[in-house]
Amino acid sequence: MNVSAVLSICLGLALAFVCPPCPAQSEADGVVRILLIGDSTTEGSVPRRLKPEGPHLEAVLEQLLAAEAELPVCQVINSSQGGEFIRRLIDSGRYARDVADLPNLDFIFIRYGINDRAKREEFSKNFPQDFHELLALLRKDHPQAMLIPMTVIPFSDKLRSQEINALIGEVAREEELQLFDIYPRYEAELLKGPHMLNYRRYPLEKIPAQYHQLVAPFVHGPSVEIMGNELDAILGDLPGWFGDRHPNLAGYNVIADETADYLTRLLRQPQAD
């Protein structure tokens, strides 16, 4: 599939989806419950390690929704795992253990594809099938929830991201689900600085010995991990210094802000009878 075809598919999907009726909030206590499932770009294990007090993705999303007038109270659950892809989520038993029995979910955001492309054999064939299988499980276990497939963020190169996102869009169309395309917002934010939304993770063994004392406060296991640009002026010329594209807290705030805008529009829609 060439780039023009991919872009046409993505644009067509974005224009074609009409927002379905918003599910009623959980009747038990009036709280809207939102589940996030995905890989490391949803989990955020390194920012949680570097700044455990956060606030992290789910807490920021709750705070942004709470700042909107006349919205119900929202609870956000982040059940994501680094390195995960859909087949592993299902076959490892994690879906059954961590997702299937969660009560009273109203919205489920699903963001996979990066690891699927790297680890799933016959990706273009099996990834859509895996996605359909996961959606069937979610419909069975959470029939009241609105299922929301998401595109991946700019993690891989653009052509690879477009390939993944085109397949996600096809699944959403076939399932008659609204696609939440977060890629354009994240890409636009990167224009303000190409490295401002990712942390730095770099092997300690590749850092010249004369800088080991300097980086000592940032060593975690075999790597130096830094949330932002503190050492870019000194070490930024090292080959691969900016190679890790996982979001830092600023990156997760972009995801939270765009998700909050998306959810606010859904929550303000008239409820279906």
Tokens of 52: 């455990």
What token pair was written down for 170?
A: 């096809």
The predicted pLDDT at position 25 comes to: 54
Burial class (CB in 10 A: 0-12, 13-18, 19+), 244: middle
Q: Residue 28 has what pLDDT? A: 57
- Which residues, other chains included, contact 149 with Cβ-Cβ below 8 Å and sequence gap of 6+? 110, 111, 131, 135, 168, 171, 172, 175, 177, 179, 180
Residues in the chain: 273
The 10s digit of each residue's pLDDT in 80-136 is 999 999 999 999 999 999 999 999 999 999 999 999 999 999 999 999 999 999 999
pLDDT interval class at 7 (50, 70, 90): very low
Residue 219: the pLDDT is 98
Is residue 6 predicted with pLDDT exceeding 60? no
> pLDDT band at residue 1, thresholds of 50, 70 and 90?
very low
Rounded to an integer, what distance in angstroms lies between the CA atom of residue 45 and that of residue 170?
A: 30
Listed by start position, the domains of the chain span: 24-191+247-267, 200-235
pLDDT at residue 180 tops 70: yes
Nearest to 178 by CA among 112, 97, 262, 94: 262
pLDDT, tens digit (0-9, with 9 covering 90-100), for 35-70: 999 999 999 999 999 999 999 999 999 999 999 999
Contact criterion met (CB below 8 Å) for 150 and 111: yes
Cα distance between residue 36 and residue 258, in whole Å: 14
23 has pLDDT over 60: no
Nearest partner of 112 among 162, 56, 41, judged by Cα: 41
Ordered alpha helix ranges (H), the chain? 3-16, 40-43, 45-50, 57-66, 86-91, 94, 114-119, 123-141, 158-174, 183-190, 212-215, 232-235, 249-267
CA distance 110 to 271: 23
**47 touches 249 (CB < 8 A):** yes
- State residue 26's pLDDT score: 53
Classified as helix, coil or strand, 171 is helix
CATH number of 24-191+247-267: 3.40.50.1110
Q: What is the pLDDT of residues 228-266, one digit of tens each?
A: 999 999 999 999 999 999 999 999 999 999 999 999 999
With 60 as the cut, is the pLDDT of residue 18 above it? no
Convert the pLDDT of each residue in 73-96 to its tens digit: 999 999 999 999 999 999 999 999
Q: Residue 113: how many CB atoms within 10 A of its CB?
A: 31
